[in-house]
Structure 1
Amino acid sequence: MSRFEITLPYYGDVALMQAAVRSVLAQDGTDWRLTVVDDGREPGVPEWFEQLADPRVRYYRNERNLGVTGNFNRCVDLAEYEYLVLMGSDDLMHPDYLSVVRRAAGREPGAAMIQPGVQVIGSDGLPYDTLADRAKRRLYAPSGPERALLCGERLAVSLLRGNWLYFPSVCWRTEAVRRFGFRADLGVIQDLALVIDLLAAGESLATTPEVCFGYRRHAASESSATAYTGHRFEEAKRFFRETADRLAALGWPRASRVSRHHLSSRLHALALLPAAARHAGAPGVTAMLRHALR
């Protein structure tokens, strides 16, 4: 019986996408399927999948470009199995990714999200450490047992202080994601918005320490591009303010305060000021200062 729907919302570099696909095909077991949803028009891609001719792979090309969030929701709509992965098309699964996730799901069958261990890699595929990733590990990720079941306001506080999850590596319970979907009005922070929706609904997150996923971080990512113009931070400010009001009404005052201050997001804007000056000039610098200094 198939349990895991691995989806690949694809747009961009063909070679990186092909490497991501091959890393999925290296998974063990017969309880999974790969669904690729192509939101671009790169030549030769449909033909490559046709030649691949692997019964474990489904390939779709959107009739029109749906954008990042629209393609995420298209992947959710196509998912038919119990669990769902929304893998980045430039990321890499280690051969034991599904083995690790299977064991975690067996330990915590009620969890809506499973976060395994992640290795950050650069454009060249080699290990790559950044200030943001060090902050995730040392400042924001909860201390204590590496295998844990987390939920409620405590987890919301932790994630709103600094989102230490690696979204493309997370395995989700499909029914829980489908209940909310990704907000169409968000283009960068939609993953955190979905997690907060799930926590507010009483869902939980299981963590397990085994490193089994390569998360690629490079300047060509959507989040980096929008950060330099300040667009990412305008979106973030709106989300954090709305979420603060929502969590206050839910009776989560600590989480509401953390969201209203969104300190890590503001510090991130300050850290990117030199890059914004180089890539976006005065408008980008002004937008990020406005976000950082409120």
Structure 2
Amino acid sequence: MDTMRVIQKSDDNFIKFNDVESVLIHGDKSKIKQPFITIAIPTYRRHILLKEAIDSALNQLNPNCEYEVIIVDNEVSYGVVTETEKLIKGYSNNKLLYYRNSDNIGMAGNWNRCFELARGKWVAFLHDDDLLVNDYLFKVSKLLDKKKKIGALVSSFEIIGENNRTKKDSKLERVTKKLFVRFGKNKLMRIRPLDTKIWNSNIYGPPTCGALFYKDYALKQGGFDEDNFPSLDWFFLFNFNKKYKVYKPLDKLGFYRVIDNESLNPKTLRAFVKDAADFREINRKSYLIGKLMFKFFKYEQHAVIIDWVMDLGKSSELKAEEFNNLCKYKIRPILLSLYKRAFRIYWIIKRIMAMIFG
């Protein structure tokens, strides 16, 4: 991967699949003429979990805006009625539209197709194994009125599924989370490219659980680039954030399901580490803060990424030692502890500032 190109340039990724048609299989667009928000669910052969995702999008409490729910299916049917199609045709909700691509355009292509097919001013992404909170639309409609020229809201979510893959919160984190739940309602925390430059990681999170994008801005940005897999969401949002304001609600918007899928494939996990190492190197060369963090915490930045990947892939054949070639690693326990504490304190302060001013 040419990480310098990733940082400095955004291509038009929508033109890559202009010749692939997305056919409307179920639903009537005339029933909802001008949706304000489109909840977009890209899917591929996951009809059982997909039903839960759809239900969470359709069964919204007190939605205070017009909205549509679009399913964009990447499974080629070859004239056969698929399990996903059978599921969708069991719905009679006028808000639901089901599209199927005439060819498989990959994950990035399908995410981009969601932008293209959405008719809402805002596009909320929901992966087909995740869920929205039941008052998602009510919450985000109020949040969008709080700030001017919002480009995106990335989602705060609760992890469900195989929780044994996730580390337990510290006592400080448990206390602060309770405070954020109590005082963080209808509050927004500003996310900036500087945050990524300092911590050399995807501080935006995955584009799901109601991550909301202003459609026109996303189209101008060029969409997700399949060549940046598996970090395509990180690099897209990093570039997007250079031009447009990104905020993160302190309040929970959805539920993120941790299951064995492509993201937990050992090959994919290895690629995550390589992407972070590449970004760290370019960050060092391109930005003063990146140079300073590299100088003092090069090994610690690498160690945190390794810990994260090893925790995700704890049941795979991954070995921490195999990543040592990406950084002449030195174990420095005191600096590593300092780095981790600084990371936690940094985000606690940002959240407190959001509770006061957000």
Partner in structure 2 of residue 179 of structure 1: 220
Q: Which shifted more, 79-88 or 153-162? A: 153-162
Shift of 1:163: 2.1
- Deviations for 1:232-277, whole angstroms, at most 9, x for unmatched residues? 32344344545555xx2xxx42146558959556433255459869
Residue matched to 2:38: 5
2:89 match: secondary structure: helix
Aligned-partner residue type, residue 35 of structure 1: I
Alpha-carbon separation, structure 2, partners of 1:262 and 1:70? 35
1: CA distance, partners of 2:239 / 2:168: 24
- Aligned residue number for residue 67 of structure 1: 106
Deviation of 1:58 after TM superposition, in Å, equals: 1.3
- Relative distance call for 1:272 and 1:160 in structure 2 (3 A) is closer
Q: 1:275 to 1:37 in 2, by over 3 A?
A: closer
2:96 counterpart residue number: 57
2:306 is aligned to: 269
Q: Displacement of 1:46 after TM fit?
A: 1.4
1:93-242 residue pairs with structure 2 within 5 A? 93-122=132-161, 130-131=166-167, 146=184, 147-157=187-197, 160-161=200-201, 163=203, 165-169=205-209, 170-180=211-221, 181-201=223-243, 203-218=244-259, 220-226=260-266, 230-242=270-282
- CA drift at 1:8: 0.6
Contact 2:76 2:102 (8 Å CA) reproduced:
no
User: TM-score with structure 1 length normalisation?
Assistant: 0.78
Contact 2:39 2:68 in 1 (8 A): yes
Q: How far apart in 2 are the matches of 1:259 and 1:19?
A: 43
- Separation (CA, whole Å) in 2 of partners of 1:88 and 1:262: 34
- Aligned counterpart for 1:36 among listed residues 47, 63, 71: 71
TM (norm. structure 2) is 0.66
Alpha-carbon deviation of 1:53?
3.1
Displacement of 1:10 in angstroms is 0.6
Percent identity, aligned pairs only, is 16
Aligned length, in residue pairs: 277
Distance verdict in 2 for CA 1:274–1:5, change over 3 Å: closer
Residues 108 and 225 of structure 2 are in contact (CA less than 8 Å); yes or no, is this contact kept in structure 1? yes
Task: Tell whether 2:120 aligns with 1:81.
Answer: yes
Unaligned runs of 5+ in 1: none
The one-letter code matched in structure 2 to 1:215 is Y
The higher radius of gyration belongs to: 2
Q: C-alpha separation between the residues in 2 aligned to 1:187 and 1:198? A: 17
TM-fit CA distance, 1:161: 4.3
- Match of 2:305, as an amino acid? H
Partners in 2 of 1:210 and 1:229 — Cα distance?
29
The change in CA–CA distance for 1:63 and 1:200 in structure 2 (over 3 A counts) is same
Deviation at 1:2, TM superposition (A): 1.6
Contact 1:227 1:233 survives alignment (8 Å): no
* Distance in 2 between residues matched to 1:89 and 1:179, nearest whole Å: 26
CA drift at 1:34 = 0.9
Measured at CA, do residues 194 and 293 of structure 1 come closer, stay the same or move farther in structure 2, by a change above 3 Å?
Answer: same
CA contact (8 A) 1:161 1:262 kept: no
Cα deviation, residue 72, structure 1: 1.0
**C-alpha distance 81-274 of structure 1, shift in aligned 2 (>3 A):** closer
What's the counterpart of residue 288 of structure 2?
A: 253
Report the 3-state secondary structure (helix = DSSP H, G, I; strand = E; otherwise coil) of the residue aligned with 1:65: coil
Give the letter for the 1:80 counterpart: R
Aligned-residue Cα RMSD (Å) equals: 3.5
Secondary structure (helix, strand or coil) at the match of 1:279 reads: coil
- The letter for the 2-side match of 1:232 is F
Distance 1:217 1:227, change over 3 A: farther
How far apart, in 2, do the equivalents of 1:205 and 1:41 lie?
A: 35
The more displaced of 37-46 and 75-84 is 37-46
Letter in 1 for 2:233: D
